[in-house]
Every structure is written in C-alpha cells, then in structure tokens.
Amino acid sequence: MDLLLAEKVLLGLFVAIVTAITVSKLRGKRLRLPPGPLTIPIFGNWLQVGDDLNHRNLSDLAKKFGDVFLLRMGQRNLVVVSSPDLAKDVLHTQGVEFGSRTRNVVFDIFTGKGQDMVFTVYGEHWRKMRRIMTVPFFTNKVVQQYRYGWEDEIGRVVEDVRNNLAAQKEGVVLRKRLQLMMYNNMYRIMFDRRFESEDDPLFVKLKALNGERSRLAQSFEYNYGDFIPILRPLLRGYLKLCKEVKERRLQLFKDYFLEERKKLASTKGSSGDLKCAIDHILDAQKKGEINEDNVLYIVENINVAAIETTLWSIEWGIAELVNHPHIQAKLRAELDSVLGPGVPITEPDTYKLPYLQAVIKETLRFRMAIPLLVPHMNLHDAKLTGYDIPAESKVLVNAWWLANNPDNWVRPEEFRPERFLAEEARVEANGNDFRYLPFGVGRRSCPGIILALPILGLTLGRLVQNFELLPPPGQDKVDTTEKGGQFSLHILKHSTIVAKPRVF
Ligand code: HEM
C-alpha cells in the first residue's frame, strides 16, 4: 500500500517536472528573456544562488551575466539592473512602466496589501498619498520649521555624552542615544511629541515593535514560502507573528498618538496654531481623501523609512570617521575654521561646509542604507534594452554597485570624501548622476532626502565639533561588517565608541 503511494507521488513529481520543463521551453521560445543562470523546475535558480541576495552577491552575478540579468526564484522573476544607463532607463525613461512596487507575503501584511505609500503600485492611490504627505513632511518649509528642534535634540545628545564618564573611558554604544534623537526628530514633525529619555516606557515599546517589524520584514527566513507557493503553509507560524506585530503596532500608533492628537485638536479648536504633520493628514481624512487605515500606514511608513535609514547612515558615518582619524581631524578643522571653535553648527551652516558635505556623500556612497533601492516592479510586460521583462517582475537596481564599480569610480573601495571635492565635484545625492543614487531618482525616489541631508550634517557636525571619536581601548578600529536584508544594509555590530570631550 505504502509502495503504491510512493509510486503515485513519484509519478506526480515526474509529470510536474516534465510539464514545468515544457512550459518553460515554450515560454523561452516566445520571449527573449535577460540572461541568467540555468533554471531547474520548481526551484528556478533559488538552490544555486541561495537566499542572501545582497548587493555584493548581486554585483558578482552581474560580472558573470551582465548589466541586466534574470533570476527565477521559485515562481518569482527577479530582474537585476547594474549599469547607470539601464538604471536611467528603469527609473527615468520608463519610470512609469517600472514605477510600481512588488511586495511579498510579509510586506503584504505590514502594508495592508499596499494601503500605504512606499509599497503601493504606481497609480491613483500612490499619487494621492504622495501629494498628501508632501506638504507636512517634504518641503523646505518643514525643514525651516523643525530645524530648531533637530538642533535642540543633537544639543541634548552632546550634553548627555559629555556627562557620561563611561563615554570618555571605556566607550558607549552611541547609536542608542542617537536612536532616541532620531525618534524625537521625526515625532516632533509628526505629532509635536518627544520622548524624554531612553527609558520612557512608550519609547521602549515603540522601539521594540518597530525593531521587530524590521527584523521580520528584512529577514531571508521566509523566502521559501514566498518563492514556492505550495510551501506557504509551512510559513503559517511566521506570518501569524507578523500579523500580531502589525496589529500591536498600528494599535499603539492609534491609541497613544492619533487619538491624543485628535483630542488635543478638539479642545483647542481650529485656532491658527502651527500644525504638525498628522493634523494635515487627519484633515485629508476628514475631507474623505483617505481612510483611517491609510493614516495609520502613513505613520507606519515614516517610522520605518525615515528613522531607521537615517540612523543607519549616521551610524556608518561615525564608524568611518572613527576608522579614518585623519578624515575626522580634517572635518573638525573645517568646522573650527568656518564656524569658530565651539560655535555649534546649525542647519544653515551645513551648506557652508564643503568637506562635511563630502563626508556625508562618501558615507552614502560607500555604505548605502538601501543599496538595492526599494524593489520596483513592472505591472505589465515590458522591454529593457531589447529583452522581454515579464509582467510583475521584481526589479532591483543595484545602486551600491553603480556607486562602487571600479569601471566608473577611482578606487571606489577607499573611503575618500575628497573625491567629491575633486573628480566627482559635480555629483549630488539628488540623482543628478546615474552612477550615484543613494536616494533613487525619478517618480519613486526618496522624498525624505530634504530632511535626511540636514539631519546627517547637523548630527555628524556637532559630534565631531564636540568630541574626539575613537575606538574602544585596545582596538584600533571598530568592526564594520555589514548586515544586508531584503533591501537594507546596516552595520552588523553596533559600535562602542569612546567620545573624548573637547575643551574650548
Ligand atoms: C539617509 C536617509 C535615507 C535614505 C538613504 C533613503 C533612501 C531611500 C531610497 C533608496 C528609497 C527608494 C527609491 C526607489 O525605490 O527608487 C526611498 C524611498 C522612500 N523614502 Fe527614503 N531614505 C532616507 C530617509 C528618508 C526620510 C527621512 C524619509 C521621510 C521623512 C523617507 C521617506 C521615504 C519614502 C516615503 C519613500 C517611498 C517613496 C515612494 O515609493 O514613492 N526617507 N528612500
């Protein structure tokens, strides 16, 4: 009896494999697909290339298969673009065709199947969400309104670190204090709220839930169930956990922030007070432009897209400055000579400091927080440099490789800000050069660049003005091993940094 069953299973598998081969042959004949490794039925290339499709592994595959290649990850098509010209085609020339986003089983949960802005397909909903978010978040007026808040927050960081004896001796994980600062920078804009200390219970809860959301979303653990739908039942436990985290998070945003703000607005009435971002978003809800879920997903998007990316970049910047003391000293000399020793840098000063700007650009080039951009997608069949790109392919632009390819940059493996004052002096972070796209470019590019750059300048500037940043005793460098995720890149081990206060 058991033998009969085994025979049936084997026969079933045989038929499935033959069918898959025949179908893929027929498809292959009709379509001119980009090159890529040979696929095997059901698994595609997954068993060959593995789960960890980070920017470095994808750069190695580009060397083998070319500037555009296709991987079949189970049932999913993954197209990887690795040259400035093709990046231009995807993000600019055919920006509409490739302007959608893919989600996977996990991102479907965290974004309510694209009810947010970051992960929704290109269309009416995205346009509306981006328009509604622009005035409260992404204009120079917002920068001018909130820069004093950011200057205050980094001022408090400096004070806390100066008062922390451990920071001067054995060192501290500076990132922890900077995380509180980044939450305050963004929660001031969003809700006109700040958290007093790292122990604030609400901050602790929020940080834990956001951290869990990122871990679950960026992990490679769930790939198998995403790539091969028949394996999805095995993911039940993982997806259940995602759903729980998502519910608890949105509930927290609602109970502690949205409802509070609504109450405040109703007691104050509609006086001419300065509004914070959420008041604008709630106005859009009142007008019927978006619903309450959309409001919550906007809060969700800002928590992830704004806070973590900027914090990772600050963390990378500090690590590189510690590991390159001569660059740190040169930056300090610029701050001292342009502003005067001990005169705290403010937002307008950041534009008067070319070396500071170069350090920021180099950090974003060498250690890109989103090295593959946020995955793009073509809703319909498309063409790319003569190849057929089947509808709903996940399209990754390997922005890290564009900015680190020795064919396009002088000694890209060196952390050398001077390049942005010499041979690359005209290159900006806003996408004016397709070799350098830390914030993407085109329709789906990062609207937060307008906030991120001054926050980076203020934070790194104030730290270097006030402290000599060093590795902990007994170490001559901090560990900069990278940890990649589905499309993120951060430092594997949060560095312990010694911060020796300067005396003015
Ligand atoms: C150093 C910090 C940051 C980096 C490196 C960064 C990078 C990026 C990148 C690479 C993308 C995807 C571009 C594409 O897919 O073509 C993106 C999208 C996005 N970013 Fe940022 N970002 C940063 C900070 C921020 C901040 C501070 C905010 C908000 C205040 C923000 C909000 C967004 C949003 C909403 C999107 C989605 C845009 C869309 O899909 O239309 N980002 N970011």
Whether 480 contacts 491, CB under 8 Å: yes
Mean predicted lDDT score pLDDT of the chain: 93
pLDDT digits over 379-422, tens only? 999 999 999 999 999 999 999 999 999 999 999 999 999 999 99
Residue nearest atom 7 in ligand 1 by C-alpha distance: 439
Atom number, ligand 1, closest to the C-alpha of residue 444: 41
The Cα angle at residue 210 between residues 205 and 212, in degrees rounded to 5: 95
**Structural tokens at position 406:** 């020795």
- Determine how β-strand 387-389 pairs with β-strand 382-384: antiparallel
Residue nearest atom 18 in ligand 1 by C-alpha distance: 446
- Give the mutation target among 377, 439, 441, 460 for probing the ligand 1 site: most ligand atoms within 8 A of CB: 439
* Distance in Å, CA 92 to ligand 1 centroid: 17
345 confidence band (pLDDT: 50, 70, 90): very high
Of 175, 105, 147, the closest CA to residue 322 belongs to 175
Atom number, ligand 1, closest to the C-alpha of residue 369: 5
**Predicted confidence (pLDDT) at residue 252 exceeds the cutoff of 90:** yes
465 confidence band (pLDDT: 50, 70, 90): very high
Q: Who contacts 487 (Cβ-Cβ below 8 Å, separation ≥6)?
A: 218, 370, 371, 372, 373, 374, 375, 396
Whether 262 contacts 285, CB under 8 Å: no
d(CA 84, CA 99): 17
10 confidence band (pLDDT: 50, 70, 90): low
Q: What per-residue confidence (pLDDT) applies to 405? A: 98
Residue nearest atom 21 in ligand 1 by C-alpha distance: 446
Tokens 């009435």 found at = 269
- Give the mutation target among 55, 183, 309 for probing the ligand 1 site: most ligand atoms within 8 A of CB: 309
Binding-site positions for heme:
446
Q: What per-residue confidence (pLDDT) applies to 30? A: 81
**Structural tokens at position 158:** 């400096």
* Distance in Å, CA 315 to ligand 1 centroid: 17
d(CA 87, CA 104): 23
State percent of the chain over pLDDT 70: 93
Atom number, ligand 1, closest to the C-alpha of residue 456: 1
User: What CATH number is attached to the domain comprising 120?
Assistant: 1.10.630.10
* Distance in Å, CA 306 to ligand 1 centroid: 7
Tell me, yes or no, whether 420 lies in a domain. Answer: yes
User: What is the residue type of 234?
Assistant: L
Tell me, yes or no, whether 190 lies in a domain. Answer: yes
pLDDT digits over 366-376, tens only? 999 999 999 99
* Residue 139 CB-half CA count within 13 A: 11
Average pLDDT over residues 451-473: 98
Tell me, yes or no, whether 465 lies in a domain. Answer: yes
Domain that holds residue 426: 31-501
d(CA 99, CA 445): 10
SS3 category, 27: helix
* Distance in Å, CA 500 to ligand 1 centroid: 33
* Distance in Å, CA 374 to ligand 1 centroid: 8
* Distance in Å, CA 445 to ligand 1 centroid: 7
Residue nearest atom 6 in ligand 1 by C-alpha distance: 439
d(CA 11, CA 62): 38
Task: Taking the CA atoms of 262, 284, 181 and 480 in sequence, report the sign of the dihedral they define.
Answer: positive
Q: What per-residue confidence (pLDDT) applies to 9? A: 44
Tell me, yes or no, whether 99 lies in a domain. Answer: yes
* Distance in Å, CA 270 to ligand 1 centroid: 32
Tell me, yes or no, whether 208 lies in a domain. Answer: yes
12 confidence band (pLDDT: 50, 70, 90): very low
Binding-site positions:
446
Strands (E), 103-149: none
User: What is the residue type of 331?
Assistant: L
Atom number, ligand 1, closest to the C-alpha of residue 137: 30
* Number of structural domains the chain divides into: 1
* Residue 407 CB-half CA count within 13 A: 9
Tokens 């996940």 found at = 394
Q: What per-residue confidence (pLDDT) applies to 274? A: 62
* Distance in Å, CA 386 to ligand 1 centroid: 30
Render 226-288 in DSSP notation, one character per residue. Answer: HH-GGGGGGGHHHHHHHHHHHHHHHHHIIIIIIHHHHHHHHHH-S-SPPPPHHHHHHHHHHTT
* Distance in Å, CA 368 to ligand 1 centroid: 12
- Model pTM above 0.85: yes
**Predicted confidence (pLDDT) at residue 69 exceeds the cutoff of 70:** yes
d(CA 301, CA 120): 11
103 confidence band (pLDDT: 50, 70, 90): confident
- Give the mutation target among 446, 450, 486 for probing the ligand 1 site: most ligand atoms within 8 A of CB: 446
**Structural tokens at position 209:** 């839930």
Of the listed ranges 1-10, 129-138, 225-234, the least confidently predicted one is: 1-10
Atom number, ligand 1, closest to the C-alpha of residue 189: 30
Q: What per-residue confidence (pLDDT) applies to 1? A: 40
**CB-neighbour burial class of residue 450 (10 A; exposed 0-12, middle 13-18, buried 19+):** middle
Q: Who contacts 290 (Cβ-Cβ below 8 Å, separation ≥6)?
A: 128, 129, 132, 281, 284
Atom number, ligand 1, closest to the C-alpha of residue 120: 40
If phi > 0 it is left, if psi is from -120 to 50 it is alpha, else beta; for residue 474 that is: left
264 confidence band (pLDDT: 50, 70, 90): confident
Ligand 1 site residues (CB inside 6 A) read: 117-118, 130, 137, 301-302, 305-306, 309-310, 313, 369-370, 373-374, 438-440, 444-448, 451-452
Atom number, ligand 1, closest to the C-alpha of residue 91: 16
Tell me, yes or no, whether 42 lies in a domain. Answer: yes
Tell me, yes or no, whether 5 lies in a domain. Answer: no
- Determine how β-strand 376-377 pairs with β-strand 394-397: antiparallel
d(CA 445, CA 166): 41
d(CA 427, CA 429): 7
Whether 258 contacts 296, CB under 8 Å: yes
SS3 category, 442: coil
The Cα angle at residue 174 between residues 172 and 180, in degrees rounded to 5: 130
